[in-house]
Amino acid sequence: MFSPSYFRELFQPNYCEKRIWLNANCPELAVKDIEFIEMVQEKGLSVEKAHVQTVGPIEEPEYPEGDMSSGFEETLRLINSKTPTIYQGVLISGDGKFTAIPDLLIINPKTNKYKIQEIKLATNVDNHPEIEYGVGLSKIIAEEILGYPPITEIVTGDGNLISPFNVPDKPDILVIINKINELENLEQEPIEPVGWSKCKECQYCDYCYGRAWDNRSICTISGIEKGMVRALWENGVNNWDEIINLGKDELYGVKFQHGSQIQRIGPTRGDKIFKQTECLVNGSFEKKSDLILPNGYQKGNRPIVIFDIENAVFDEFELYVDVYIWGLMTIVSGNKKEQNTVITPSGDQGDKEGWVQFLSTMNRIFETYGDIPIVHFSSHETTKINNYIDLYGDKGNIAKRVKENMWDLYRGILDTLILPVPSYGLKQVEKFVGFKRSQEEYGGSWSLVKYNQYLQAPDAETSNKILDEIKTYNAEDLLATYAVYTWLEENIC
């Protein structure tokens, strides 16, 4: 039977029709981050239980695990007896094609009608079409059973109630359901353009993107759009070499769908794509202009600070913090390095305390070395600094001084270089410059899982061991950023 969970597979982490087919036909190709999934489930259950405790007495249908028909019969009994609040009731459509288990069915004593209330981990549901369609499907089934369309509500991960929660119309929901069913039953794998930002968080990334990269697919050219890819496919252009053979002038003239409009790739976009492709084919970089180092520095000038943060990404994880690692490493001279990383403490005041410790650490660095460059990768750190100033203030104007000395390495690369990489993110650029990590597992979700384990550690020994892993991960992020910086000094300055 079709359930709301199918919508998530279509829409998250990004809309992808191929993922539906792979789930149905080749699930063994998935590489799942089990620890991260378990953490999400744990936090989701925690949010759910916390809310359920606030709604008063509940009744849950009792039935053998997996026996949905029995669960439905027991839910009907509870509905017919006007049970005030039903938790995890089983709903099945009359034709047996659809099923849903809404978190709560709550009766309104004034109207004697049930409403559907779903509890979600997400704190912002604006960009979650899978939630809209999932709740919409529950409403369709419930209306058939109850004889009236129930009000639908959402309780978000931070406890806010959205009532009513608007869902798509039934015809629109059925269109998506039919599409998913059709995709599952295709005889062959559907053709879907890949892209690094689109695919990197997907469990099939190694299969889809990895294969595309090995085949030198045009999808892996940084800066190329999905509409351009489809238009080039129609013109018989599938790989890097065929882009080169096509030539710049022909590439400029290719028309593609961009939103509701038809556009030409044109010289500006075309030249960028062509040069990027040349670098990929040759396995070499192209220098566009000289790199101007921060603070009037010349090649080899030190000291500098390398700065990298890790933040929770999902506010709903109840870690009570946003930034949980304020990564700092001072490169004093030559190989002399000082890691000054701040790990945000636990507790509901931990977020503010982490910020205070970060500012204190930066103040000591300024007192020791003066206004030296603070090198980071992308605008993420600047954004977070601004957020924390708004949240907790900037005593002594230390954060203002930090911002004045920050220098974005990512922007420096984009302005001066074309690299033979699928993405200009740190993890890809560091590989090109030859940096190698010591940890086999690393990444934002890994560090978030480790931080959560650190907060929940049963004893000091376990806590310290996990903390060492987190510090090692962050140190390698900092060293990777420094490796890219020194490579630029040697090759671009």
pLDDT in tens, 54-72: 998 999 999 999 999 999 9
| 47: confidence class by pLDDT, cuts 50, 70, 90 | confident
Inter-residue contact 326 to 344 (CB < 8 Å): yes
Q: Which of 236, 226, 232 is nearest to 259 (CA)?
A: 226
Q: Which of 237, 277, 276, 231 is nearest to 254 (CA)?
A: 231
Q: What is the CA radius of gyration of the chain?
A: 26
Q: Which of 426, 399, 8, 397 is nearest to 196 (CA)?
A: 426
Burial of 237 (0-12, 13-18, 19+ CB in 10 A): buried
Inter-residue contact 344 to 388 (CB < 8 Å): no
| 39: confidence class by pLDDT, cuts 50, 70, 90 | confident
> Chain-centre distance of CA 419, in angstroms?
24
pLDDT at 443: 60
Calculate mean pLDDT across residues 239-259.
96
Taking residue 443's Cβ as centre, other Cβ atoms within 10 Å add up to 17
Q: 201 CB contacts (<8 Å, ≥6 apart)? A: 13, 14
Half-sphere exposure of 274 (CA within 13 A, CB side): 17
Between the alpha carbon of residue 358 and those of residues 324, 354, 386, 398, 480, the distances in Å are 11, 6, 14, 10, 21
pLDDT at 455: 77
> Which of 8-22, 116-130, 264-278, 428-442 has the weakest average pLDDT?
428-442
On the question of pLDDT at 320 being above 70, the answer is no
Calculate mean pLDDT across residues 109-128.
92
Calculate mean pLDDT across residues 363-385.
96
Alpha helices in 12-128 (DSSP H): 17-25, 34-52, 68-80
| 316: confidence class by pLDDT, cuts 50, 70, 90 | very low
Distance CA 391, CA 179 (A): 44
Task: Give, for 122, the enclosing helix (H) or strand (E).
Answer: none
What phi-psi label fits residue 213: left (phi over 0), alpha (psi between -120 and 50 degrees) or beta?
alpha
Inter-residue contact 482 to 331 (CB < 8 Å): yes
Domains within the chain, CATH numbers bracketed: 5-184 (3.90.320), 215-284 (1.10.150), 294-491 (3.30.420.10)
Calculate mean pLDDT across residues 438-453.
71
Q: Note if the bond before 164 is cis, omega within 30 degrees.
A: yes
Residues belonging to the chain: 493
Calculate mean pLDDT across residues 63-89.
97
Distance CA 27, CA 466 (A): 32
Calculate mean pLDDT across residues 208-229.
96
Q: 429 CB contacts (<8 Å, ≥6 apart)? A: 413, 419, 421, 484
Which residue type occupies 217? S
Between the alpha carbon of residue 309 and those of residues 408, 452, 466, the distances in Å are 13, 16, 18
User: Residue 448 corresponds to which tokens in the numbers above?
Assistant: 């978030």
> Which of 399-413, 422-436, 445-459 has the weakest average pLDDT?
445-459
Which residue type occupies 336? K
pTM of the model: 0.85
On the question of pLDDT at 318 being above 70, the answer is no
| 103: confidence class by pLDDT, cuts 50, 70, 90 | very high
| 315: confidence class by pLDDT, cuts 50, 70, 90 | very low
On the question of pLDDT at 166 being above 90, the answer is yes
Above pLDDT 70, what percent of the chain?
97
What phi-psi label fits residue 10: left (phi over 0), alpha (psi between -120 and 50 degrees) or beta?
alpha
